[in-house]
Structure 1
Amino acid sequence: MSGTALPGSAAPMPGSQRSDSPAPDYSVPALDKALDILELLAARSGGLSQAAIAEAVGRSVSQVFRVLQTLEGRGYLVREERSGLYRLSMQLFTLAHRQEPLRGLETAALPAMRAFADEVRQSCNLGVLSAGRVLVLAQVESPANFGFRVRVGSEFPLEGTATGAVLAAFGEESVTEPWLSGLSRGARDRVDRVRLRGFERADDSLQPGITDIVFPVFGRGGSAVAALTVPYVSTSFSAARTHQVEARARAAAETISGALGH
């Protein structure tokens, strides 16, 4: 058989692929390694050694060495001087903050949060839904000598937290529904109760002695885009009681919602 195309048939173009050929592989091995490492460290509370990282991502120590050096040089990883362990820096969180929606939300929220903290002398933080978890976007500390601080960038489960229940109850349905379906029956019942009540007040499931008071922050579309949480610390030195904190937190959440166009 000759290689000449038959009359009426189309000759194959140079570089063209048959329909039954395997799809081209456009992966970038070095990038895959870097993402594997970032995702690994994001899921760990502490640091990991170079050898532990290599083992966890299924690579050799020499394969991850240059990737670790690059990520450290670009500020995405921090290597502890004494232990030599690698951990994530805040660089990824800083990148996320450059997104216009998050910058706008933080800008709108901080003045009202500062006014609230100054008035009732309690800390407060702003949480958003991020990949099915609660991400702390902003935090204002109490001006008093005591208070409860939550680190900006911290993540908490959606289920079992007051902030998560409020975000699930009032968030945009298309965003919350995939995560709601994975909650337990008890957690879904809690979301329903929060929706009827309009806010949540409950003992913190992770920190004894803290009462979480949480109000939704609504965006222009009418769904909650964030939740204002007050980790209320009740002591004999507290300047405001629970009902007063609730009233001021509600007002602060409404002020932030108004600034967002709600």
Structure 2
Amino acid sequence: MTEAPPTGTQAVGRALSVLRLLSESGAEQSISEVAEKLGLSSGTANRIMRALAAERLVARNPQTESYFLGSGAVLLGQAAQRGFGLDKMLPILKRLNEETEESVNLSIRESHESVVMLRVQSTLPLRFEQHTGARFPLYTTASGKAILAFSPNASDYLGSLPTRLEKVTPHSLETRTDLEQVIQETRERGFSIDEQENVDGVRSVGAPVLDAFGNAQAAIVIQVPAVRMPISRVSELGQRIMTAAREASNFVPLDRPLAP
């Protein structure tokens, strides 16, 4: 039976799903891989790829016959970064990386997740590898806790959680009450701590990037292997990251919230 042509809305949704797949996978994808992962026929996946390639949103590797994000996607991303002020925040992250020699990222909140928007990798041999676009639960991350501590709708998020939280690592918080206490401590201290709760063996410290109304629009986070980050170093990095986050707050646009 011939597959019915997609409606306009469906076609746009499928095209966006392909772009999201290429973005999150970080690797080339063949037509058959795209079709299998998105539940499409090979013909539909091929038509979507041709349409996206015509706009340079994807490009084809002639040697592997697989596809990757194209120059059009790069230009769109750069324009979005400028619109949200991220291009001005990146030098702040780079300076913090140079001062500490550790990995630094800027993350925002999307629903119940923390999403990495900018990343500056440590050059030290022992480091935590991560990529932009990576997503993690808010309650396990330093970024999520920093954002929640300075968000007006944090109570709505807390109310949506079960009494007992799903543990990502053996160190993850166990209950909603534990999280409520940690958020309060973060608000009082000014910076958050991820005590190997999201990745075993990695400690993180985060601080909120606030808008003009004092609401968190993003968070800057330093991620360090636990063997190189004793508890005594947490306070020092916390002060550094709060300074960086305050500077980044100067570039948050008033009319374009980064975090819902």
TM surpasses 0.5:
yes
- Residue 192 of structure 2 is matched in structure 1 by 200
**Could you tell me how far apart the structure 2 residues matched to 1:101 and 1:132 are?**
25
Q: Is 1:77 aligned to residue 58 of structure 2?
A: yes
- Bigger mean CA deviation after superposition, 48-57 or 114-123: 48-57
- Residue 211 of structure 1 is matched in structure 2 by 203
The structure whose RCO (Cα within 8 Å, separation 6+) is larger is 2
Identity of aligned residues (%): 24
- Residue 168 of structure 2 is matched in structure 1 by none
Instruction: Quote the offset at 1:110 in angstroms.
Output: 3.0
Q: Is 1:161 aligned to residue 175 of structure 2?
A: no
**Could you tell me how far apart the structure 2 residues matched to 1:57 and 1:140 are?**
31
Map Cα deviations across residues 241-260 of structure 1 (whole Å, 9 max, x no partner). 33322221222223323554
Instruction: Quote the offset at 1:67 in angstroms.
Output: 1.8
The question of whether the paired residues in 2 share the 8 Å contact of 1:118 and 1:143 is answered with no
- Residue 136 of structure 1 is matched in structure 2 by 116
Q: 1:41 to 1:164 in 2, by over 3 A?
A: same
The question of whether the paired residues in 1 share the 8 Å contact of 2:97 and 2:104 is answered with yes
**Could you tell me how far apart the structure 2 residues matched to 1:31 and 1:236 are?**
46
Aligned length: 234
- Residue 189 of structure 1 is matched in structure 2 by 177
SS at 2:140 equivalent: coil
Q: Is 1:171 aligned to residue 151 of structure 2?
A: yes
Query: When the two structures are superposed, what TM-score results if normalisation uses the length of structure 2?
Result: 0.68
SS at 2:109 equivalent: strand
Q: 1:46 to 1:163 in 2, by over 3 A?
A: same
**Could you tell me how far apart the structure 2 residues matched to 1:137 and 1:62 are?**
33
Map Cα deviations across residues 168-217 of structure 1 (whole Å, 9 max, x no partner). 332242xx566544433345434422332123212333433210111112
Structure exhibiting the larger radius of gyration computed from Cα positions: 1
Query: When the two structures are superposed, what TM-score results if normalisation uses the length of structure 1?
Result: 0.67
- Residue 257 of structure 2 is matched in structure 1 by none
CA RMSD of aligned residues (A): 3.9
Q: 1:203 to 1:84 in 2, by over 3 A?
A: farther
The question of whether the paired residues in 2 share the 8 Å contact of 1:106 and 1:137 is answered with no
**Which of these residues, 212, 219, 229, is aligned with residue 220 of structure 1?**
212
- Bigger mean CA deviation after superposition, 29-38 or 220-229: 29-38
Q: Structure 2 matches for 1:24-39, cutoff 5 A?
A: 27=8, 30-31=11-12, 33-38=14-19
